[in-house]
């Protein structure tokens, strides 16, 4: 069984997709051992509780400085002894120490086709606002490994989603989640759990 820690900050719909994927048997050989959250008010914590998954909240507000917060964050992940860490709407830059410690063992879902609309400042609804402002006709989602950069790690899978005339950022966000994120993220976890994902020289190969 692949021991997975999921890191969240908000609504937790991607966390829910993973929980449901495991319950339905679509995600194989995977156990959710802990949910780590930086926001005490996040609905994702309710989802974790309802699914019977242990959760830990590490809020930056409870620490004197960034270093203290990062140490606590790393400890809360380490304690659960994960094989894989999944960032599912986690709005915290992963500390460099943690990236090194878990090289090619942290994945993230991003709501665009990287390298479009990614990097510093592009998160959540902002990504969709930028895509609409640019007038792209196709957007999507990406699941990638996390490296020291912002959204620059090796890409595992991407899925395109059409932009419709009259879309608002909220409508587009919902379509990208439904058609891409909630499909891709559980699928990638399952592929990793079953040994189908290899990383070599910063490139991913997926054997299906
Ligand atoms: C998702 O759209 C996710 O891709 C995005 O935040 C949302 C979280 O929703 N993540 C980023 O923008 C990371 N750069 P959720 O809490 O309902 O899963």
At 72 the pLDDT is: 98
**Residue 125: predicted pLDDT:** 97
Rounded distance between C-alpha atoms, residue 185 and residue 73, angstroms:
22
pLDDT of 2: 98
Nearest CA, atom 1, ligand 1: 89
What are the mean pLDDT values of the chain's consecutive 10-residue runs (208 residues total)? 98 98 97 98 98 98 96 98 98 97 98 98 97 98 97 98 98 98 98 97 94
Answer yes or no: is the C-beta of 193 below 6 A from any ligand 1 atom.
no
CB atoms under 10 Å from CB of 122, counted, come to 20
- pLDDT at position 45: 98
Is the distance from the beta carbon of residue 38 to the nearest atom of ligand 1 less than 6 Å? no
CA 27 and chain centroid, separation = 16
Domains and CATH numbers, the chain: 2-196 (3.40.50.170)
Distance 144 CA to ligand 1 centre (A): 13
d(CA 74, CA 69): 9
Alpha carbon distances (Å) from 168 to 76, 115, 171:
37, 22, 5
Helices 13-23 and 43-50, interaxial angle, to 10°?
10
- Report the catalytic residues: 110
Please give the pLDDT value at position 191: 98
- Say if ligand 1 is within 6 A of residue 12 CB: yes
Residue 156 is predicted with a pLDDT of 98
Q: Which residues, in sequence order, are CB contacts of 33 under 8 Å at separation 6+?
A: 3, 4, 5, 53, 54, 80, 81, 82
Residue 10 CB less than 6 A away from ligand 1: yes
Q: What's the CA gap between 193 and 197, in Å, rounded?
A: 9
> In the prediction, which pLDDT does 208 show?
82
122: left (phi over 0), alpha (psi -120 to 50) or beta: beta
Q: Which of 111, 112, 156, 182 to mutate to test the pocket of ligand 1 (most atoms within 8 A of CB)?
A: 111
């Amino acid at each position: 069984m692949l021991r997975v820690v999921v890191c969240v900050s908000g609504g937790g719909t991607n966390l829910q997709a993973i929980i449901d994927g495991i319950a339905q048997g679509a995600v194989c050989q995977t156990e959710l051992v802990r949910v780590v959250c930086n926001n005490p008010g996040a609905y994702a914590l309710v989802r974790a509780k309802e699914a019977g998954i242990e959760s830990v909240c590490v809020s930056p507000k409870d620490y004197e400085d960034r270093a203290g917060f990062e140490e606590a964050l790393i400890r809360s992940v380490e304690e659960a002894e994960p094989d894989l860490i999944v960032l599912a709407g986690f709005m915290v830059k992963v500390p460099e120490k943690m990236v090194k410690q878990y090289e090619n063992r942290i994945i993230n879902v991003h709501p665009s086709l990287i390298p479009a609309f990614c990097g510093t400042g592009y998160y959540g609804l902002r990504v969709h606002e930028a895509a609409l402002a640019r007038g792209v006709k196709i957007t999507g989602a990406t699941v990638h490994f996390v490296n020291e950069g912002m959204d620059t790690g090796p890409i595992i899978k991407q899925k395109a989603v059409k932009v419709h005339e009259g879309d608002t950022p909220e409508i587009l966000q919902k379509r990208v989640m439904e058609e891409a994120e909630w499909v891709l993220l559980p699928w990638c976890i399952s592929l990793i759990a079953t040994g189908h994902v290899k990383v070599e020289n910063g490139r991913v190969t997926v054997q299906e």
